[in-house]
Amino acid sequence: MPSSAIDRAFTARKTVGSDSEPTYAGALSFMRRKFTKDVKGADAVVWGIPFDAAVSNRPGARFGPQAIRRASAIFDVDPQYPFGVDLFEAMAVVDYGDCLLDYGNHQKTPATIEREAAKILKHAGFLLSLGGDHYVTWPLLKAHAEKHGPLALVQFDAHQDTWFDDEKRIDHGSFVARAARAGIIDPERSIQIGIRTHAPEDCGIRIIHGYELEDMKAADIAYAIHERTGGKKTYVTFDIDCLDPAYAPGTGTPVAGGPSSAKMLSVLRQLGGIDIVGADVVEVAPAYDHADITAIAGATVAMHYLGLLAEKLARR
């Protein structure tokens, strides 16, 4: 039964608890979380980064945060599958809105993202970012490493993103190489899942290629991630093009031969033993989507991050 309240994104008085709203109405924050810039005491902060000037193929991921928030309206007050509980009963989560970027001066973009991410991380326990193209993960990794030290990277992707550049380019295909070279990630504790393209370097990162996934159970993939990260503080980045275009057509650089959303969500569900300190979902480009297939997948990935965090907090 819907409550008498609506637009909980603005009217909510608390950052915990849920309230039902029609999925087709109301202000579209992520999972109806309260919109606020006050993140003190928040267990998790959801933040949009509407940037796509680094793409090498189809643009449009700047609209990703809007699409993911809209799709997240399907997650109403019911217990969330597969976690079986109200994620927000005891976990305080807010929607911080979007990063304000100067569309005419992209050279300022990385510093702007890093600075704002560091500000959020100073007061909140966990930052969940909604891209945007995959370049945004570069400044996000820098901000997280500044707080936590060198990180293990778990990357769901069709592309390695290990192309070397002069470190001045705004390019979504080189952030992993930069992070490895700068010591921001530990390649020996990092893993890429779903790769279906080639790059000149692997930077010492373990790769599970797309075709390999077809012969592996979700539990085996999750075990490989656990084994590789080895208890190290971990950042998880999910490029939606990790999924086969049948499950994620709305993205800038789709690659055939990928896994299903069901399989990769099952893998995510089994990562509860990993010390995940930050996460993102990127490259949702709704202009190429159909019936919100890709946006729903992206929102579900983001919900899984919060589900894992809720379980982690409950164990404390």
Rg (CA), the chain: 18
pLDDT of residue 205 exceeding 60: yes
The answer to the question of whether 215 is labelled as a binding residue is no
Q: How far is CA 309 from CA 149, 209, 254, 276, in A?
A: 20, 27, 29, 8
Domain boundaries, the chain: 8-315
Average pLDDT for 66-73: 97
The answer to the question of whether 165 is labelled as a binding residue is no
The answer to the question of whether 239 is labelled as a binding residue is yes
Least confident of 87-91, 227-231, 290-294, 296-300: 87-91
pTM of the model: 0.95
The answer to the question of whether 161 is labelled as a binding residue is yes
Average pLDDT for 66-93: 92
Q: Which has the closest alpha carbon to 236: 164, 129, 139?
A: 129
- Predicted pLDDT of residue 85: 92
Contacts of 315 (CB under 8 A, 6+ apart): none
DSSP label of 88: T
Instruction: Give the mean pLDDT of the chain.
Output: 94
pLDDT in tens, 242-256: 999 999 999 999 999
- Predicted pLDDT of residue 167: 76
The answer to the question of whether 157 is labelled as a binding residue is yes
Amino acid at residue number 163: W
| Residue 64, both tokens | 């990703």
Is-contact 194 224, C-beta < 8 A?
Answer: no
pLDDT interval class at 309 (50, 70, 90): very high
pLDDT of residue 206 exceeding 50: yes
pLDDT interval class at 1 (50, 70, 90): very low
pLDDT in tens, 178-191: 999 999 999 999 99
Torsion of CA 256, 257, 263, 269, to 10 degrees: -70
Q: Which has the closest alpha carbon to 274: 239, 222, 238, 316?
A: 222
Contacts of 153 (CB under 8 A, 6+ apart): 141, 176, 179, 185, 189, 190, 191, 205, 234, 235, 237
pLDDT in tens, 146-169: 999 999 999 999 999 898 887 778
Q: How many CB atoms lie within 10 A of CB 89?
A: 12
Task: Compute the distance between CA of residue 38 and CA of residue 42 in angstroms, rounded to an integer.
Answer: 9
Q: What homologous superfamily is domain 8-315 in, according to CATH?
A: Ureohydrolase domain (3.40.800.10)
The answer to the question of whether 159 is labelled as a binding residue is yes
